[in-house]
């Protein structure tokens, strides 16, 4: 029988994990295929690891990837996908905003021949108007800026075929925008619409500062548009300054009008200085990511690996 891998990153999710596993197990029990559930403990500070070990003791399908520290959700996803052994793998968050009951529909699309089946949100219950508005704007912005078509209103909840998963495992960049990487690998892809539920329990780990940095990672990973904007804007300002200087010279020669406006001069200098610093910041974002890639550090380190049906392995990377 084919094997399905469910990959679940978890960071401080002890309150929601029992209910998540109960609902996921009920779905898997109704499938005509074998399954494994790979939980990735991303350096949790609460009792997440203890809950995962209890689930593993109760269900032989459960595996645990225990990272040595908190590496972030994108890296945790990568760690789980690296050890997934299934003919297909499904990525899903543990907070139950993405319903496990949608898994059979994702599998049906896979059986129709699609390599990537992504769940596309029709609504986002339990989120503020500001969160919905910024998410809407971000997905449309990155679609316009990226050379890869990244589906709008789509999170990490999706299915990957074995060949899509093997292709994804070849991409080892440090700053990982997984939604973009899922799209970059290509292969036949299709969306499945669904309604996103409110978080079942606990608090979200995504504040606006983290979301801002996440957006920067996405834009700088899949577009050089900010660098082009800086170039074109700098050229436009230089051209405007040149023609304005010509106008000042001509006006002085024709009408003998002295050049007034010391406050105007200060404003112009401050404006140009601010633009230069902004452009340097854009260049710095790309340069910092190049610096991280050049060090070639491993993406993560394992504290312990416990795969379904196997004894725990020693630490590895």
CB burial string 181-207: b at 16+ within 10 A, e below: bbbbbeeebbbbebebeebbebeeeee
Do 231 and 173 belong to one domain?
no
Q: Domain check: are 285 and 136 in the same one?
A: no
Low-confidence ranges of the chain (pLDDT < 70): 124-128, 131-132, 198-215, 218, 222, 252-253, 256-264, 266-267, 310-317
The pLDDT value given to residue 317: 45
Cβ contact 302:315 at 8 Å: yes
Q: Does any domain span residue 257?
A: yes
Residue-level pLDDT at 200: 56
Question: 217 lies in a domain?
Answer: no
| Confidence at residue 267, expressed as pLDDT on a 0 to 100 scale | 65
Residue 123 and residue 171 share a domain: yes
Q: Give the pairing of strands 154-161 and 116-124.
A: antiparallel
CA nearest neighbour of 40 among 61, 66, 15: 66
Q: What is the pLDDT of residue 314?
A: 55
Predicted local confidence at residue 73, as pLDDT? 85
Same domain, 244 and 137: no
What is the spatial distance between Cα 178 and Cα 185, in angstroms, rounded to a whole number?
11
Residue 169 domain-assigned (yes or no): yes
Q: What are phi and psi of 122, to 5 degrees?
A: -90, -30
- For residue 250, what are the domain limits? 225-295
Structure-block tokens of residue 104: 């059979």
Pair (181, 246) in one structural domain:
no
Claim to verify: residue 148 and residue 250 sit in the same structural domain: no
- pTM attached to this predicted model: 0.72
Residue 144 has phi, psi (to 5 degrees) of -75, -35
Other CB atoms within a 10 A radius of the CB of residue 78 amount to 24
Q: Do 254 and 149 belong to one domain?
A: no
129 and 252 together in one domain: no
């Amino acid at each position: 029988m084919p094997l399905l891998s469910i990959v679940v990153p978890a960071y401080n999710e002890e309150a929601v994990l029992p209910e998540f596993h109960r609902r996921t197990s009920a779905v898997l029990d109704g499938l005509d295929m074998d399954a494994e559930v790979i939980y990735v403990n991303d350096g949790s500070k609460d009792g997440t690891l203890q809950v995962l070990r209890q689930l593993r003791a109760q269900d032989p399908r459960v595996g645990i990837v225990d990272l040595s520290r908190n590496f972030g959700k994108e890296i945790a996803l990568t760690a789980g996908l690296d050890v997934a052994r299934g003919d297909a793998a499904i990525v899903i968050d543990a907070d139950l905003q993405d319903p496990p009951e949608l898994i059979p529909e994702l599998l049906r699309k896979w059986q129709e021949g699609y390599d990537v089946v992504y769940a596309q949100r029709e609504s986002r219950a339990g989120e503020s108007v500001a969160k919905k508005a910024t998410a809407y704007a971000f997905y449309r912005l990155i679609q316009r800026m990226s050379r890869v078509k990244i589906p709008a209103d789509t999170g990490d909840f999706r299915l990957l075929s074995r060949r899509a998963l093997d292709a994804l495992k070849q991409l080892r960049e440090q700053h990982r925008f997984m939604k973009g990487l899922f799209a970059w690998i290509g292969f036949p892809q299709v969306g499945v619409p669904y309604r996103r539920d409110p978080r079942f329990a606990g608090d979200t780990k995504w504040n606006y500062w983290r979301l801002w940095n996440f957006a920067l990672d996405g834009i700088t990973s899949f577009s050089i548009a900010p660098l082009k904007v800086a170039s074109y804007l700098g050229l436009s300002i230089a051209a405007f300054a040149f023609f304005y200087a010509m106008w000042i010279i001509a006006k002085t020669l024709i009408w003998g009008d002295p050049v007034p406006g010391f406050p105007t001069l200060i404003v112009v200098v401050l404006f140009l200085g601010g633009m230069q610093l902004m452009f340097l910041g854009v260049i710095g974002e790309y340069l910092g990511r190049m610096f991280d890639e050049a060090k070639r550090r491993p993406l993560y380190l394992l504290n312990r690996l416990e795969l379904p049906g196997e004894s725990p392995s020693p630490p590895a990377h």
